[in-house]
Amino acid sequence: MEFNIAVLPGDGIGPEIIDQAKKVIGAVGQKFKHNFNFKHGLVGAIAIDKTGNPLPEETLDLCKSSNAVLFGAIGDPKYDNNPAAKIRPEQGLLALRKELGLYANVRPVSTFPSLIDKSPLKKEIVQGVDIMMIRELTGGIYFGKPQGRSEDGNTAYDSCVYSRYEVERVVKLACEYAMNRSKRITVVDKANVLATSRLWRETAVNVAKEYNELTMDFMFVDNAAMQLIQNPRRFDVIVTENMFGDILSDEASVLTGSLGLLPSASIGHLTSVFEPIHGSYPQAAGKNIANPLGTILSAAMMFDLAFNLKTEADIIRNAVEKSIEADYVTEDLNRTHPKSTSDVGDWIADYVSKS
Ligand code: IPM
Ligand code: MN
């Protein structure tokens, strides 16, 4: 089969980690006789530097005409330290989500047995954690209008806005995930305070009526933040709004011991974007030390969800597990004898070829 993949390396370590995923995808292509056409596009700070626009029209068109998008990372300290900057790299990512209609961000969080000691939590608490975190991605306070400043500059406002349709489609997707897992789903909100959260609850209850065997429970976000640390195994599928999901998914990600390990998929109606959940890690850029596993596992999610090639996806995941078991890992996972980013990529591509 033949697939067009839009490749958006972005900023910081983005290009290095993307290169490793491309190697692994190439190895899968050779093994299974698929053709993958990689076409590169600019996004983020590098796109601002070159074109003045964090998401150039050309990049957007490329994404729209591709079977899937592989995304590296976005962000640059020169913008983080300048709150007055009018054009920001992150706007590129937000625009991409909006333009491609990426309404759900899916972040699986599960532990690797051989890394259990890397978790900041006790082994007894974290062992066996397997959470599917589903975050609404194109609504809520990230996009609500009005947003801005009063004329005198002394007041600022953001608006949290959700329509019933927006809640319905992401909760439905989450229910489908739950039905293929343990049939349990937790809706996280702040319905004791927020009107949008009350719409979420009402809508979620209605969606759940279509799933007889499903058990849905509700939890306030502050409690959920606590339970994720205290008793993470109580969760299976979590679905929540944009901002809560942003915060909780970062919290959940450290349960496994390294942020560098976690993949994500942002699901759209036309195309989907696959990216590691970590950021651009500018301190490591160009040093060949960043962990490429989150990106390689994102490529595995691409095989699963965008190409419907389950065997290929499993082979990639298995190769990643084997590299961890062999302790062939970057410095975030092995301080004393780390391997480089490209060495890890080579090892995994090679393992895939030989599998
Ligand atoms: C994420 C990131 C983004 C977000 C930033 C870079 C805009 O933190 O993908 O979680 O807040 O959604
Ligand atoms: Mn985030």
Q: Which ligand is nearest to the CA of 98?
A: 1
- In this structure, which residue's CA is closest to atom 1 in ligand 1? 246
Q: Is the pLDDT of residue 258 over 90?
A: no
Q: Ligand 1: distance of its center to the CA of 337 in Å?
A: 32
In angstroms, what is the span from residue 212 Cα to ligand 1's centroid?
35
Nearest CA to ligand 1 atom 6: 90
- Relative to the CA of 242, which ligand 1 atom is closest? 12
> 1-109+262-355 in CATH: which number?
3.40.718.10
Q: Of the residues 130, 236, 246, 343, which is catalytic?
A: 246
pLDDT digits (tens, 9 = 90+) for 291-335: 999 999 999 999 999 999 999 999 999 999 999 999 999 999 999
**Overall average pLDDT of the 51-62 stretch:** 98
Mean pLDDT, rounded, for 202-228: 98
> Hey, whose CA ends up nearest to atom 12 of ligand 1?
246
Instruction: Please give the Cα distance from 278 to 299 (Å, whole number).
Output: 15
- Where do the domains of the chain lie? 1-109+262-355, 120-256
Ligand 1 interacting residues, C-beta cut-off 6 A: 74-75, 90, 93, 246
Position 84 confidence tier, pLDDT thresholds 50, 70, 90: confident
Number of the ligand closest to the Cα of 247: 2
* Ion ligand 2 neighbours, Cβ < 5 Å: 246
Ligand 2 centroid to residue 249 C-alpha, Å:
7
Q: State mean pLDDT over 106-112.
A: 93
CA of 347 to the centre of ligand 2 (A): 29
Residue 113 has a pLDDT of: 87
- Segment 243-259 shows an average pLDDT of 91
- Identity of residue 285: A
| CATH superfamily assigned to domain 120-256 | Isopropylmalate Dehydrogenase (3.40.718.10)
Tell me which of 90, 106, 109, 242 to substitute to probe ligand 1's pocket, judged by most ligand atoms within 8 Å of the beta carbon. Answer: 90
- Tens of pLDDT, residue by residue over 156-196, are 999 999 999 999 999 999 999 999 999 999 999 999 999 99
Amino acid making up residue 82: N
Output the residue whose Cα is nearest ligand 1's atom 10: 246
Nearest CA to ligand 1 atom 9: 277
Same fold, 1-109+262-355 and 120-256: yes
142 classed as catalytic: yes
Which of 91, 93, 102, 249 should be mutated for ligand 1, with most atoms under 8 A from CB?
93
What is the pLDDT confidence band of residue 83, given thresholds at 50, 70 and 90? Answer: confident
Average of pLDDT values for 5-16?
98
Instruction: Report the chain's mean pLDDT, rounded to a whole number.
Output: 96
| 346 belongs to the catalytic site | no
Residue whose Cα lies nearest atom 4 of ligand 1: it is 246
The reply to whether 19 belongs to the active site is: no
